[in-house]
Amino acid sequence: DVKVTQSSRYLVKRTGEKVFLECVQDMDHENMFWYRQDPGLGLRLIYFSYDVKMKEKGDIPEGYSVSREKKERFSLILESASTNQTSMYLCASSWDTYYGYTFGSGTRLTVV
Amino acid sequence: KQEVTQIPAALSVPEGENLVLNCSFTDSAIYNLQWFRQDPGKGLTSLLLIQSSQREQTSGRLNASLDKSSGRSTLYIAASQPGDSATYLCAVRLYNNNDMRFGAGTRLTVKP
């Protein structure tokens, strides 16, 4: 089975800190995605990547950046964390459009 | 813009009942539709993936149907169990930009 691993289940960070959320997949998937999930707003796409060093903005990229230096790893970066970035962050990966998504277990980030 | 709607938002049933969860989408230009399960505080677990050319998929007590022309999918759960209690989300994979759009989910409670 494909495994998508998010490095932390829970994180607490201070306002203004630079935060790195890591996601690693083990099945050579081309596509990787970062979503945030908030009550009442559902899942919203932050960034996605089709290949190494490729990235595309999703619906809510403001305040975030990403890095994909290796195919298996897709990092989400909060340049200067703010309290409105407190959320559940979900990473997903897939092969091409024929295939479905596989999600990681999520990272609950709290910014205080 | 693709809109995905899930009705009802919440559902409570006694154990043993058969039930149907509904998903509708506004744009039929999709590659596929995927149903997920999410337990509280956890990531999404894939249940069924239906390609746009398919009508249904089955896995155990779960059956998902797709009517692309009318923009509808249903997830049928037979002989529900308390362990089925979770939030169920549907998502469609879009032609134009390769990401998925999610519904807000149906929160299912199965009472013993």
Q: What's the pLDDT score for residue A96?
A: 79
As a whole number, the mean pLDDT across chain A is: 94
Task: State how far residue B24 is from chain A, nearest Cα, in angstroms.
Answer: 16
Choose between A54 and B35: higher pLDDT. B35
Choose between A78 and B99: higher pLDDT. A78
Q: What's the pLDDT score for residue B52?
A: 92
Mutate to test the interface with A, among B100, B106, B107 (most CBs of A within 10 A): B100
Calculate the CA B7 to chain-centre distance: 10
Q: What's the pLDDT score for residue A26?
A: 94
pLDDT in tens, A16-49: 999 999 999 998 999 999 999 999 889 999 999 9
Share of chain B above pLDDT 90, in %: 88
CA dihedral B104, B74, B13, B84 (to 10 degrees): -80
Q: What is the CA radius of gyration of chain A?
A: 13
Q: Which residues of A sit within 8 Å Cβ distance of B?
A: 6, 31, 33, 40, 42-43, 45, 48, 50, 56, 58, 88, 90, 92, 97-106, 108
